């Protein structure tokens, strides 16, 4: 690798243009998603769930025969007690409520806006990927040597993961609006606060481990983000379903109810978040191990309790506790969701807080 390679300013400029172009198209995708939610009529999920509860309440009462006295025939028969059949819930998020049909609400008009939004997201991703690639070619290295580059690549991988799930026919279009919103915020922060001119890396980062360690961190974080979105929506959907069970409780607004009717059921969201987190956890584990190996090669020790190392480990412990609680303690629903959000909060602090506010050997933020 040529450590003294010059920066190709033309490619660096094209990279910036492509990133700004991607932001413009993401904005159009954001507006299309808004139209998808607003103009797609409300689905029948809420009415179906309410009907399930009402039907259970009005169902024929189960009869329980209790013998009165010693001999039924001699004492004149039995007493019949009636017990209503009701929907029970063994754990949060396990109600028998159907999934919503997705952001479009099952309507043709909403579905058209949804397809436009997905198409624009694909186009934006092409611009986005082009910007990341041009940045890499401008300096002939991995395009994640500082916070600006990490942020742009992180957002690209998050969008790519979402589109791959869509291509696999997964019911994840409900992620589109929060995802595009977050990507716009992430890129806006990247090009304004975190922006760093295209330049060569400090000597410690010139290693093939940059490709391995940081790329794994990006893929892990992007996937954990999708799990966090699902977890957050689960909390709202779970409360909405509780409202359907108890009509006298606190009500959601009309628009919020319309949105929550269209997303998957609380049980489905909870399961989806768990599967994402469980699938990515081994990769996050490998990320920490790869970082330790790289640290030994660069600094002569595997672990030195650097702030970045500490918070990476804290994040690992938090997700390990979440998965352990789900697997052994039977934690499901809201308790597990809070733990998962705390774990993702640790990841965010590890990225933003440690990089910006804490000084250590990993202080390569470039801001």
pLDDT digits (tens, 9 = 90+) for 199-212: 777 776 778 888 89
The number of CA neighbours under 13 Å toward the Cβ of 87 is 21
Residue 81 has pLDDT above 50, yes or no: no
Report percent pLDDT > 90 for the chain: 44
pLDDT for residue 364: 57
Distances (CA, A) of 254 to 141, 251, 259: 51, 9, 9
pLDDT for residue 103: 75
Ranges 5-9, 279-283, 351-355: which has the least confidence: 5-9
Averaged pLDDT for residues 14-23: 96
Task: Name the more confident of 73 and 290.
Answer: 290
Residue 80 has pLDDT above 50, yes or no: no
Residue 51 has pLDDT above 50, yes or no: no
pLDDT for residue 3: 47
Contact partners, residue 339, CB within 8 Å, separation at least 6: 318, 321, 322, 325, 331
Residue 156 has pLDDT above 50, yes or no: yes
Q: How confident is the model at residue 111 (pLDDT cuts 50, 70, 90)?
A: confident
pLDDT for residue 244: 81
pLDDT tens digits along 178-189: 999 999 999 999
Location of structure tokens 């013998």:
67
Contact 109, 40 (CB under 8 A): yes
Name the phi and psi angles at 161, rounded to 5. -65, -45
Ranges 56-65, 99-108, 291-300, 351-360: which has the least confidence: 56-65
Contact 244, 50 (CB under 8 A): yes
Distances (CA, A) of 138 to 21, 121, 135, 198, 364: 18, 25, 5, 7, 19
Alpha-carbon gap, residue 173 to 281, rounded angstroms? 24
Burial class (CB in 10 A: 0-12, 13-18, 19+), 110: buried
Contact 52, 241 (CB under 8 A): no
pLDDT for residue 199: 79
Contact 285, 316 (CB under 8 A): yes
Largest CA distance in the chain: 105
The length of the chain, given as a count of residues = 367
pLDDT for residue 44: 43
pLDDT tens digits along 301-346: 888 888 889 999 999 999 999 999 888 767 778 888 999 999 999 9
pLDDT tens digits along 225-281: 999 999 999 999 998 888 888 766 667 777 777 778 888 889 899 999 999 999 999
């Amino acid at each position: 690798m040529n450590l003294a390679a010059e920066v190709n300013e033309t490619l660096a400029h094209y990279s910036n243009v492509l990133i700004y172009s991607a932001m413009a198209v993401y904005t159009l995708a954001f507006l299309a998603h808004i139209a998808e939610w607003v103009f797609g009529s409300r689905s029948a999920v809420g009415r179906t769930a309410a009907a399930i509860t009402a039907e259970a309440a009005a169902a024929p009462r189960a009869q329980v025969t209790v013998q009165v006295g010693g001999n039924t025939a001699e004492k004149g028969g039995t007493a019949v007690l009636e017990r209503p059949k009701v929907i029970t819930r063994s754990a949060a998020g396990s109600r028998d409520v159907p999934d919503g049909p997705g952001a479009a609400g099952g309507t043709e008009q909403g579905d058209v806006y949804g397809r436009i939004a997905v198409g624009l997201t694909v186009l934006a991703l092409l611009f986005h990927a082009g910007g990341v690639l041009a940045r890499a070619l401008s300096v002939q290295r991995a395009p994640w040597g500082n916070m600006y580059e990490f942020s742009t690549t992180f957002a690209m991988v998050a969008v790519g993961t979402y589109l791959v799930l869509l291509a696999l026919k997964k019911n994840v279009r409900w992620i589109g609006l929060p995802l595009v919103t977050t990507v716009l915020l992430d890129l806006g922060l990247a090009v304004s606060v975190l922006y760093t001119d295209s330049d060569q890396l400090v000597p410690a980062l010139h290693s093939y481990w940059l490709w391995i360690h940081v790329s794994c961190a990006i893929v892990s974080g992007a996937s954990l983000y999708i799990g966090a979105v699902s977890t957050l929506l689960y909390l709202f959907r779970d409360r909405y379903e509780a409202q359907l069970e108890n009509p006298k409780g606190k009500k959601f607004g009309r628009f919020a109810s319309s949105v929550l009717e269209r997303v998957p059921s609380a049980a489905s969201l909870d399961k989806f978040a768990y599967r994402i987190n469980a699938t990515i956890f081994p990769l996050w584990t490998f990320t920490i191990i790869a970082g330790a190996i790289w640290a030994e090669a660069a600094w002569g020790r595997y672990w030195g309790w650097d702030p970045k190392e500490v918070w990476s480990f804290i994040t690992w412990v938090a997700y390990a506790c979440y998965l352990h609680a789900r697997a052994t303690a039977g934690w499901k629903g809201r308790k597990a969701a809070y733990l998962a959000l705390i774990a993702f909060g640790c990841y965010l602090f590890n990225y933003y807080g440690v990089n910006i506010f804490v000084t250590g050997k990993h202080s390569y933020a470039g801001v």
